[in-house]
Amino acid sequence: MSVLNDIKLKAKELLEKGDVDVVIGYAKGTLNGKCTPYFVRNANDVENLVWENGCDINLANYLLKISDKAAVIAKGCDTRSIVNLVKENQLDRERVVIIGASCPSTESCQKCNHPDPVIADVFLQGETKVNNDDFSDLESFSKLPSEERRNYIYKEVSKCIRCYACRNVCPACYCKECFVEENLPAWIGKTTNTSDNMIFHLTRAIHVAGRCVGCGECVRACPMGVDLSILNRKIMKDVKELFNVESGLDLDTKLPLNDYKEDDPQYFLIGGEKCE
């Protein structure tokens, strides 16, 4: 309650002083236990803000859709996406006031080791969760016979109707022209055959490598219940193990896929060592 009060006070102050044109946060959703993104432009409307379990949507993406000076109420993943967007020159840090607060979501955010904001202009300390995501799900998956693994992924992608909601909500997928829409050349078929769906999902997973923050937005947005977070998580683990980088933790570390070291591992070469 007190964190919510602090959020409201801060939002009100920023709007009344004219420091920002809009505060992006959450209001109660229409479904029980769900919260919806909420844009406050009038200081009186701060009363509608909420901060509770169900405030899980990654708000960073909205900052790209508006050009006003904005404040955003941000938990761990939002701030990590913001860090990446600033590093990729998609977002002007000066245009955004970050009201940071510890993630209030308990259900959908268990596989997250960074519930607290990594950057903030004001940090409203709440109760900090301690999660310990050790990627054990990947380990058990890896132990399955290869055929079973492949079939699992095929089955998951075959549900996909290629609406691209997952891409549209992803804060790492902001390309003005995504490869799926390019026509000359057409990189990928427009069908929803397993093959085209595989190409879409594998490519997207690799495109967001080192930039995905594991916010889960892509899974939440999917109308067909497709959950391929295991692909993103596998890449996240590899990026950490091979290049020693975790996505979006600070403004200084270079994006891992824009960087290299002379002695980067080369197990992928013919005759190379196998990766863990």
* C-beta atoms surrounding 206 within 10 Å: 12
Contact region for another protein (CB under 8 A) — 6-14, 74-82, 85-93, 258-266? 258-266
Q: 115: cis peptide before it, omega within 30°?
A: no
User: Angle CA(118)–CA(171)–CA(156) in degrees, nearest 5?
Assistant: 115
CA dist 183 and 197 (Å) reads: 17
> Could you say which of ligand SF4, another protein, none residue 224 binds, taking C-beta under 5 to 8 angstroms by partner kind?
ligand SF4
Give yes or no for a contact between 73 and 23, defined as CB atoms under 8 angstroms apart: yes
CA dist 76 and 122 (Å) reads: 14
Among residues 1, 216, 212, which one has the least CA distance to residue 107?
216
What are the φ/ψ torsions at residue 39 (nearest 5 degrees)? -100, 115
Comparison of 181 and 260: residue with beta carbon closer to another protein: 260
Among residues 177, 173, 175, which one has the least CA distance to residue 201?
173
Member of 170, 209, 235, 239 binding ligand SF4 (CB under 6 A): 170
Helix (H) or strand (E) holding 12: helix 2-16
Member of 7, 73, 212, 235 binding ligand SF4 (CB under 6 A): 212
Residues 143-162 within binding reach of another protein (CB under 8 A): 145-151, 153-154, 158
Residues 187-216 within binding reach of another protein (CB under 8 A): 187-189, 191-196, 198-199, 202-203, 205-206, 209
Radius of gyration of the chain (CA): 20
Member of 27, 120, 224, 242 binding ligand SF4 (CB under 6 A): 224
Among residues 77, 43, 15, which one has the least CA distance to residue 212?
77
- Cβ neighbors of 232 (< 8 A, separation 6 or more) are 205, 208, 212, 214, 218
Per-residue mark of binding to ligand SF4, 228-267 (x: CB under 6 A):
----x-----------------------------------
Q: How far is the CB of 122 from ligand SF4 (least distance, A)?
A: 24
Contact region for ligand SF4 (CB under 6 A) — 20-28, 49-57, 135-143, 218-226? 218-226
> Could you say which of ligand SF4, another protein, none residue 270 binds, taking C-beta under 5 to 8 angstroms by partner kind?
another protein
Per CB under 6 A, 207 contacts ligand SF4: yes
Among residues 69, 56, 63, which one has the least CA distance to residue 108?
56
Collapsed DSSP state (helix, strand, coil) of residue 245: coil
> Could you say which of ligand SF4, another protein, none residue 114 binds, taking C-beta under 5 to 8 angstroms by partner kind?
none
Per-residue mark of binding to ligand SF4, 178-197 (x: CB under 6 A):
xx------------------
Comparison of 44 and 183: residue with beta carbon closer to another protein: 183
Member of 54, 104, 214, 256 binding ligand SF4 (CB under 6 A): 214
| Site of interaction with ligand SF4 (CB under 6 A) | 58, 160-167, 169-173, 175, 178-179, 204, 207-208, 212-218, 221-224, 226, 232
